[in-house]
Chains A and B, each alone.
Chain A
Amino acid sequence: MKIETTRFGPLDTSEDDLITFPEGIIGYPDRKRFVLLQNSPEDPFCWLQSTEDPALAFVVADPTRFVPDYTVKVPPEEVSPISLAGVGDARILVFVVIPAENPLETHLNLRGPVVINTANRLARQLVLSEEYPLRHTLVGAGA
């Protein structure tokens, strides 16, 4: 299928690559279908591109590449909307904020991770407790 994007131009993606957020993403309840654009498996960063809104794409990252001991602990019911059966099927991504005026303040939102069930490609953004920082700065954090 062809999708339009403002950042990357027209893209050809497979239906199999679609990730569905049944409840949308916090702040974007109407955007439910996304694709992950990743340069290479070595690249910790990728783009979560909406297939419904060409201009909507989030920078996301594999948190364990920067915070090796990062784990998401939630009751099983929190991931029941995406039918997650076991940890083995879960892929965790976090949002990356690159402040335009001060890129050295680039940070990961460790409080609101995205959990993707790789078995059925359903995903959900969680809101964790306050012990998880909303802003984990990358530069100078021993990353």
Chain B
Amino acid sequence: MLVLARRTGESIVIGNDIEVLVIEVKGEHVKLGISAPKSVPVNRKEVYLAVQQENQAAAAASPEQLARIKETLKHHR
């Protein structure tokens, strides 16, 4: 991993169109400003990981499990 030291108000540039600016540093909290094309997803890592985990869980089902849940839903309607 590339490690760079930056001060408040300084930034780094990734590629031609992504900029990460250090807006504020307060104790353990760092406020970052990110300028990137809207087509580049920017997410907090824990949100990204949570979605990834749900995707993995969605890939674990069997046709039998789906058939059973469909039956269950019928009775709960």
| Residues of A bordering B, CB below 8 Å | 7-8, 25-28, 45, 47, 56-60, 75-78, 80-81, 95-100, 103-104, 106, 109, 111-112, 125-127, 130, 134-135, 138-140, 143
Contacts and interface: CB of A to CB of B under 8 A. Distances in A.
Interface in B2-58: 37-39, 41, 43, 47-48, 50-58
Contacts of B73: 138-139, 143
Given A26-B48, A26-B51, A45-B66, A97 B58 contact: yes
Given A59-B61, A127-B51, 12 more contacts: A26-B55, A27-B52, A27-B53, A78-B39, A78-B41, A98-B65, A109-B54, A138-B73, A139-B72, A140-B76, A143-B73, A143-B76
B55 A28 contact: yes
Contact of A58 (B50, B55, B63): B55
Contacts of B43: 127
Q: Is the interface of B mostly helix, strand, loop or mixed?
A: helix
B52 A134 contact: no
Contacts of B50: 111, 134
